[in-house]
Amino acid sequence: NAGVTQTPKFRVLKTGQSMTLLCAQDMNHEYMYWYRQDPGMGLRLIHYSVGEGTTAKGEVPDGYNVSRLKKQNFLLGLESAAPSQTSVYFCASSPTGNSNQPQHFGDGTRLSIL
């Protein structure tokens, strides 16, 4: 049982390049989330999805787009990467929208923008 899998694990980009981070979960969870983690800032929610075909903005959505075309996948896109987007990105999922259920996290994607 893989849980939540993020690809790639590491990536270095140049300013202005674009890329897509992939998150896949095999637990049939409805809710999926993208966070970024910066030193001293904890985790901040970028976007989330409450089900296939839906997305919603979190705390820091600017500069990112997301898509949830399939229930098991949640994609995070950077259209024009900026150095301020250097961070560790975590994907998470939860069974439903009930807050008495924990979120399950992947091991992160470490992204550097030069």
User: Dihedral sign, CA of 35, 36, 37, 41?
Assistant: negative
Told to check if 56 binds another protein by CB under 8 A, we report: yes
Q: Would you say 87 and 111 are in contact if contact means Cβ atoms under 8 Å apart?
A: yes
- 33 binds another protein per the rule CB under 8 A: yes
Give the interface size with another protein as a residue count (CB under 8 A). 29
Strand partners, 45: 35
Tokens matching residue 46:
């970028």
- The interface region with another protein, picked from 17-25, 70-78, 79-87, 89-97 by CB under 8 A, is 89-97
Tokens representing residue 40 in the block: 């001293």
45 binds another protein (CB under 8 A): yes
Residue 38 Cβ vs another protein, minimum distance, rounded to whole Å: 10
Range in contact with another protein (rule: CB under 8 A) among 18-26, 57-65, 70-78, 79-87: 57-65
Pair 66, 74: CB distance under 8 Å: yes
The Cα 104–Cα 35 span in angstroms is 12
Interface with another protein by CB under 8 A: which residues?
Answer: 4, 31, 33, 35, 40-45, 48, 50, 56-59, 90, 92, 97-100, 102-108
